[in-house]
């Protein structure tokens, strides 16, 4: 699954890394980060930032190999676990890219609450997803995959207002939404309420 997701979303990584000020964070955890494609792009673009990938054990093993191959083992850690149980602490920011669209609202809030429990009062939650703009086409080339996620797992694409509601329920206040240039992704930023 990690290779599949990297193939679909990997080309967006450089745009995301360039389109948001990740350099303001000392360290960043990619929650459900797969093999580490997005984290690798962020670390390449922002050399003063360190990071980590958090994913299930089998995927975490793949991430170790990928990040080693990218020459980032000195700046990137890999932690295995389940984001429905807990999330590692000690990071300035937590990014969940293409994670919440897999899950219904209840499970999405559970993931966000676990991130909130792990972070300090000055931490940031970064939801990187397709941000649906009412009245506009998604422009997403993989709508059938998203439909499959909705049918099999109950997930869906959401508007900025819907992401903000999830953040509020999980103990955050929405700071803003940054749309990534030339991409169908946006980053909804939350801070502890």
Percentage of residues in the chain having pLDDT higher than 90: 76
The confidence band for 177, taking pLDDT boundaries of 50, 70 and 90, is very high
Enclosing H/E stretch for 187: strand 185-192
How far CA 116 is from CA of 2, 12, 83, 182, 186, in Å, comes to: 25, 26, 12, 30, 20
Sign of CA dihedral 167, 186, 132, 30: negative
The answer on pLDDT for 8 being more than 90 is no
Among all residues, which ones are annotated catalytic? 101
Please state, in angstroms and rounded to a whole number, the distance separating the CA atoms of residues 166 and 92: 20
Q: What is the mean pLDDT of the chain?
A: 89
* CA 18 distance to own-chain centroid: 15
What spatial distance separates the first Cα and last Cα of the chain, rounded to whole Å?
35
The confidence band for 11, taking pLDDT boundaries of 50, 70 and 90, is confident
Looking at residue 131, what is its pLDDT? 87
7-16, 113-122, 160-169, range with the lowest pLDDT? 7-16
Q: What are phi and psi of 60, to 5 degrees?
A: -60, -40
pLDDT tens by residue, 25-68: 999 999 999 999 999 999 999 999 999 999 999 999 999 999 99
The answer on pLDDT for 110 being more than 50 is yes
Enumerate domains of the chain plus CATH numbers.
Answer: 2-192 (3.40.50.150)
């Amino acid at each position: 699954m990690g290779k599949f997701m990297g193939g679909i979303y990997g080309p967006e990584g450089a745009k995301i890394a360039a389109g948001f000020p990740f350099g303001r964070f000392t360290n960043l955890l990619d929650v459900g980060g797969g093999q580490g494609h997005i984290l690798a792009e962020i670390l390449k673009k922002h050399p003063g930032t360190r990071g980590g990938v958090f994913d299930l054990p089998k995927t975490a093993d793949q991430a170790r190999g990928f990040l080693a191959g990218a020459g980032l083992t000195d700046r990137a850690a890999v932690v295995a676990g389940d984001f429905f149980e807990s999330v590692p602490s000690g990071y300035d920011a937590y990014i969940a890219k293409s994670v919440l669209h897999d899950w219904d609202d209840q499970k999405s809030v559970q993931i966000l609450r676990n991130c909130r429990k792990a972070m300090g009062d000055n931490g940031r939650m970064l939801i990187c997803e397709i941000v649906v703009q009412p009245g506009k086409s998604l422009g997403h080339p993989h709508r059938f995959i998203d439909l499959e996620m909705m049918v099999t797992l109950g997930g869906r694409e959401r508007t900025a207002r819907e992401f903000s509601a999830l953040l509020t329920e999980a103990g955050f206040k929405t700071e803003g939404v940054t749309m990534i240039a030339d991409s169908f992704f946006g980053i909804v930023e939350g801070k502890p309420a």
